[in-house]
């Protein structure tokens, strides 16, 4: 008489599904600021952000936590949508107002600083402007930016340092 072997297979737990409501709430403002910085067009930025969320929703089952977090994944989708828009237009337009700014701040000094930074950003190379937007609007770390841009983390750090230095110099001028 043979005994039956019983094998216990542990349950494989998958990463929790992306909560789109939470992802949207946590990132829509930063995503908009990033895309508006890239496109320099508020109306087009709104359209691209909507497209990015639509694409992300349709592709949500393909998200792989091993490749990064939801926020970095979403910024990658938005970056591709913004680049599609830039290729489609083959031109840039002037940024009408500060991304995400609803009203002018009460502090005139803060308003002057914002205008100075915005003008300095507008004069920068698009590559540098995008790096700064990913870092500060996207709140992505250098590793996440490197994956998004297909380069090394040290390259991102070097390029970002140079871009921020250029931005500071442009603001001081």
> For residue 165, what are the domain limits?
20-172
From residue 151, how far is each of 19, 155, 156 by CA, in Å? 29, 7, 7
In a domain, 14, yes or no: no
Number of Cβ atoms within 10 Å of the Cβ of 63? 16
In a domain, 61, yes or no: yes
Q: How confident is the model at residue 16 (pLDDT cuts 50, 70, 90)?
A: low
Q: Give the rounded percent of residues in the chain with a pLDDT score beyond 70.
A: 80
Residue 13 has a pLDDT of 43
Does the pLDDT value for residue 14 go beyond 50?
A: no
In a domain, 94, yes or no: yes
Q: How far apart (Å, rounded) are the C-alpha atoms in residues 50 and 126? A: 22
Question: Quick one: how far is CA 134 from the chain centroid?
Answer: 5
In a domain, 96, yes or no: yes
57-66, 85-94, 159-168 — which is least confidently predicted? Answer: 85-94
Domain count, the chain: 1
Q: How far apart (Å, rounded) are the C-alpha atoms in residues 115 and 110? A: 9
Does the pLDDT value for residue 96 go beyond 70?
A: no
């Amino acid at each position: 008489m043979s005994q039956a072997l019983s094998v216990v297979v542990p349950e494989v737990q998958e990463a929790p599904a992306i909560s789109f409501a939470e992802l949207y709430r946590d990132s829509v403002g930063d995503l908009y600021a990033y895309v508006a910085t890239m496109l320099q067009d508020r109306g087009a930025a709104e359209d691209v952000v909507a497209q990015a969320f639509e694409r992300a929703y349709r592709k949500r089952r393909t998200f792989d936590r091993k490749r990064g977090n939801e926020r970095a994944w979403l910024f990658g989708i938005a970056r591709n949508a913004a680049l599609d828009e830039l290729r489609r237009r083959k031109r840039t337009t002037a940024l009408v107002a500060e991304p995400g700014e609803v009203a002018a701040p009460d502090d005139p000094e803060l308003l002057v600083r914002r205008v100075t930074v915005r003008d300095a950003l507008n004069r920068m190379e698009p590559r540098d402007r995008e790096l700064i937007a990913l870092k500060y609007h996207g709140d992505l770390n250098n590793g996440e930016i490197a994956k998004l841009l297909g380069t090394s983390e040290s390259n991102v750090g070097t390029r970002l340092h140079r871009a921020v230095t250029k931005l500071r110099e442009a603001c001081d001028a």
